[in-house]
Structure 1
Amino acid sequence: MRRADNGTWELPGGVLELNETPEASVAREVWEETCIHVEIDELTGVYKNTTRGIVALVFRCKPSGGTERTSSESTAVSWLTPDEVSNRISEVYAIRLLDALDRAGPHGRSHDGKHLIPVG
């Protein structure tokens, strides 16, 4: 989705509410931002922004209802191919989606907010 606040393309996401499981939070955030209901498949990655101290959990999901629409948090919602993801989304967010497509996970990665930090 293209974010309404800064115009960048990213995966739907947000902050976990105190009374929510990570899976419930994923379903809620995807619905709020795209109007698509999802079924959670599995955790595919853990990503740490070392600059801000934020840890993001990423889950592979499949659509289970709804029709993609924009919301107050998005100005565009689109299904992208892996090549489109790599070209449209910054590397620290694109890798999350590409890792989710790779069934060899879950993956663990760190970044500084703009670039991945090489392991080792």
Structure 2
Amino acid sequence: MLLYMSQSQEATSPPLHSVSVAGVVVREDGHLLAIRRADIGTWELPGGILELDETPEAGVAREVWEETGIHVEVNDLTGVYKNTTRGIVALIFRCKPSGGTKRTSSESTAVSWLTPDEVSERMSEVYAIRLLDALDGNGPHVRSRDGKQLIPAE
């Protein structure tokens, strides 16, 4: 059933959210997969917007492969993170590499296996916390940020 809204209904509708997915890919030696984004140059997890017709797990596997060339086995949901400024809800999954060859893409200018210390050095707190949360085994974590910094839980 299709629903049609008038312009007045659209104006009073609550803002929409988008859902993104990302993978914390952990090698047996404890190194973590990270990319340097081509558009803004920051280090982050491989991931992106979840497509309407895919499961979160399939979306994570697709995004990691597209951005890094690494195939993954998707395991546990480790966190849910909301950017309150942009309306993005990110689902973060711990993954295990299962094949492929590391490479860059149109979305990444570098792909590296980092130690947890290197993650903290290269990534802003709002992205590093996603990797570090995935390693602590106490998830899934639920956190929000205002676009720049974490918002303390109430």
Secondary structure, counterpart of 1:70 in structure 2: coil
Q: Does 1:63 align with 2:97?
A: yes
CA deviations over 1:39-77 (Å, ceiling 9, x no partner): 001100000001111100000000000111111110100
CA shift for structure 1 position 113: 1.3
CA distance in 1, matches of 2:113, 2:78: 19
Report the count of equivalent residues: 120
Q: Which has more strand, going by share of residues? A: 2
CA distance in 1, matches of 2:76, 2:92: 9
CA distance in 2, matches of 1:48, 1:91: 14
CA deviations over 1:81-104 (Å, ceiling 9, x no partner): 111111100111110011111111
Report the aligned-residue RMSD: 0.6
CA shift for structure 1 position 114: 1.1
Moved runs in structure 1, 4+ residues, more than 4 A? none
CA distance in 2, matches of 1:84, 1:31: 22
Indicate the residue corresponding to 1:12 in structure 2: 46
Larger Rg: 2
Unpaired segments ≥5 residues, structure 1? none
TM-score, normalized by length of structure 1? 0.98
TM-score, normalized by length of structure 2? 0.77
CA distance in 2, matches of 1:52, 1:6: 16
- Name the aligned partner's letter for residue 10 of structure 1: E
CA shift for structure 1 position 119: 1.2
Q: Percent identity?
A: 83
Indicate the residue corresponding to 2:118 in structure 1: 84
Secondary structure, counterpart of 2:138 in structure 1: coil
CA shift for structure 1 position 5: 0.7
Indicate the residue corresponding to 2:82 in structure 1: 48
